[in-house]
Amino acid sequence: MRSVRSPEFDGVTFHEVHARSVLNKVPAGSGVPFGWTVNPYRGCSHACTYCLEGGTRILMADGRTKALAELEVGDALYGTRGHGAARRLVPTRVEAHWTTLRAAYRVTLDDGTRLVAGGDHRFLTSKGWKHVTGSKFGAAQRPHLEAGTELIGVGRFAPTPDETLGYRAGYLCGMLRSGGFAAEPDAAARALGYLPDFGSSVGFLKVPPDPDAHWQRGFLAGVFDLAGGYGRGILTIAHDEPEITDAVAAALARFGFARQLDEVPKFPSRQEVRLLGGAGEVLRFLHVSNPAVTWKRSLDGTVIGASRRRVEAVEPLGLQLPLFDITTGTGDFIADGMVSHNCFARNTHTYLDFDAGRDFDTQVVVKVNAPQVLTAQLKKPSWRREHVAMGTNTDPYQRAEGRYRLMPGIITALARSGTPLSVLTKGTVLARDLPLLRDVSADVPVGLAVSLALLDGELQHRLEPGTPSPRARLELIRKARDAGLPCSVLVAPVLPWLTDSAEALDALFAQLADVGASSVTVFPLHLRPGAREWFGRWLAGSYPALVPRYRELYARGSYVQKAYRERLAERVAPLLRRHGLAPKTGYDPRDPEPAAAPEPAAPAEQLRLL
């Protein structure tokens, strides 16, 4: 019908359409305890975005850097994997690449680095992942950067040298004085490209008495290509000529590198220059000198974290900028030296002929005539007043509902036709309609369910970015109960070895009992294809030690092993009884498919969507 934008929705375009039907039949065999749904929205106006300015340099798998805007699907780059208390660099690939238009913020670090990012972007800090912006209180509460926050990374990226005549002369000197063309095809190819610049002269074989910075950069690259190496976190250059090792030490000193000169016991005439300072200095060396030999530039397995920098300021730029983001196999990448989170692949929007990047964030289809069409459908003689569940595909109380107010008309239409209804949501906009839901509950059965899996705010934001905090959802439950409405809670998904301990569940159940939850239904993690791959990448990046255990638990398919379900049931049952939250549905976590239930009617399907 039309497409509109509104200042309060920060770049979101709403495509207002006239739907032919909004009452949707659930496919046979879905295994859920309801047969009909209503979804007034497609897309999500509160979807998360993790975006950076297009010129941000990204660490590639060959140790070089490339602008974020220039990346392409399939490019090899570095992400990270947890290794005990540390993280290691691991090669990964770009799986998706997109751009969006967002309000921009400048993050300034204590070494002068400036990163331009969207407010939802996240960086790895010494205390976990944190968004660029946020609040300590209210609806915007989430972990966020502040002055003094310590970021984890590999050190500031240095500019790659220009291949000036001086650089080329230095490279030829270092390379040819260290073995020449006998080894390393990459180095030989570069040298052959440089030689014509010098004609028949061989003057470049001499070390100048007062070399400039260009010559020294090239010299370090040439020597490293033939006489250097990197392994187990240590970069060294060994040489038999004192003149060359002295020139290496002088060049390193010029660029501020700490180094150590050692004798090589097995080769009395050889000296070894060792670079000090860890992974950050190794990476800076590669950028300052730009060696040619690809395999020597590999940083696979390098431990990072020592190169930490502190945030000095986070400032709004006061304008919207084109920002870019990628999806990688590890779920992160290295941006200007900092470990940076990315968004998981967004293919769910493509069936609407939108792309998976900017469109996913900013193109929301709104069925503006949903209440009227539903009213007409419910009047048909064939309608048997079967239960209708909402929140089974897209959340009906996402942010857009605050603008379009479709749900009051939908609720009224269902109630007037005598149709039982239920709502499953994470959105606090539901509080607006509690008086209406209370009134219609006198005429038809009304079920409310709020999804809340854990109390740990940091873990919740990592699993469910962009959703209301646990505290906000607890307050929503309280408001529903104060309105006299039953409100069940879906504790799902319970994550083995992360959120399934008796202590964690007991604390969560205590909070739910305190706000008056009617009952609690517990579901262990369920991994259908698609969700399985995404969660597997997230787990490998966040908790790699658990990967083998999860593979064993889910070796036979989407459902967790029966033995685990039985253990979880034994753990959950007494806790629910203790807090007066035992479900009224007869649900048993040992059963992969839940029994039918009038309240809430949507948990099983919502779990599969996770």
pLDDT tens digits for range 331-343: 899 999 999 987 5
pLDDT at 8 over 90: no
Contact 148, 311 (CB under 8 A): yes
Residue of higher predicted confidence among 20 and 558: 20
DSSP 114-152: EEEEETT-EEEETTEEEESS-BSSSTTBS-B--TTPEEP
Rounded to whole angstroms, the Cα distance separating 104 from 119 reads 7
Residue of higher predicted confidence among 48 and 112: 112
Structure tokens belonging to residue 204: 């470049």
Structure tokens belonging to residue 321: 């900028």
Task: Write out the residue limits of the CATH 3.80.30 domain(s) in the chain.
Answer: 379-609
pLDDT at 588 over 50: no
H helices present in 150-267, as ranges: 165-176, 185-194, 213-227, 242-254
CA 465 from centroid of its chain's CA atoms: 8
The residues, ordered by sequence, that sit 6+ positions from 263 with a Cβ below 8 Å of its Cβ are: 270, 271, 272
Q: What pLDDT is attached to residue 28?
A: 64
Q: Which helix (H) or strand (E) holds 538?
A: helix 531-542
- Specify the pairing of strand 41-42 against strand 13-17: unpaired
CATH code 3.10.28.10 for 165-301: yes
- pTM comes to 0.53
Residue of higher predicted confidence among 541 and 234: 234
Rounded to whole angstroms, the Cα distance separating 80 from 87 reads 6
pLDDT at 281 over 50: yes
Q: What pLDDT is attached to residue 596?
A: 31
Q: What pLDDT is attached to residue 451?
A: 87
Contact 283, 63 (CB under 8 A): yes
Give the chain's largest Cα–Cα span.
98
Structure tokens belonging to residue 126: 């010494």
The most confident of the ranges 35-49, 194-208, 216-230, 596-610 is 216-230
CATH code 2.170.16.10 for 52-154+304-342: yes
- Which DSSP symbol is given to 209? S
Options 3.40.30, 3.30.470, 3.40.630, 3.80.30; CATH of 379-609: 3.80.30
**pLDDT over 90 for what percent of the chain?**
51
Task: Write out the residue limits of the CATH 2.170.16.10 domain(s) in the chain.
Answer: 52-154+304-342
Report, as an integer, the average pLDDT of 439-464: 86
